Amino acid sequence: MPNLDSTFAALSDPTRRAILARLALGETTVMELAKPFEMTQPAVSRHLKVLEAAGLIVRRIEGSKRPARLTPEAVTEIDQWLSMLRNALAKNYDRLDQVLAQIDPKKEEIPNE
């Protein structure tokens, strides 16, 4: 199971986020990942190692190639954590709506969207 600290540290780099966005389209090789960047294949491989250590991608050996793909479990863990924050914020806004309604009871409550 990935660690959120290493996950967010890996996501802090824009190149790694771009690599993940490409991998969201499907498995691919290092050479394909390196094409849109002005960097060498070894530099892309170093980014992949960080993403792999964070549990965001997995790589397999296919002859001399090592295709990479996204790890759904890591994305699910990030989504669950962010969902917890969204729920907490929604509760805070609901409480604020209640306080404001008590201050000015003539105002109608704004329905949740």
Q: For residue range 52-106, list pLDDT tens digits in order.
A: 999 999 999 888 888 999 998 888 888 888 888 888 888 878 788 778 878 876 6
Q: Give the span between the Cα atoms of 77 and 111, in whole angstroms.
A: 30
CATH node for 4-71 = 1.10.10.10
Say what the pTM is: 0.72
Phi-psi region of 55 (alpha: psi -120 to 50; beta: other; left: phi over 0): left
What pairs with residue 58 in β-bridges?
Answer: 69
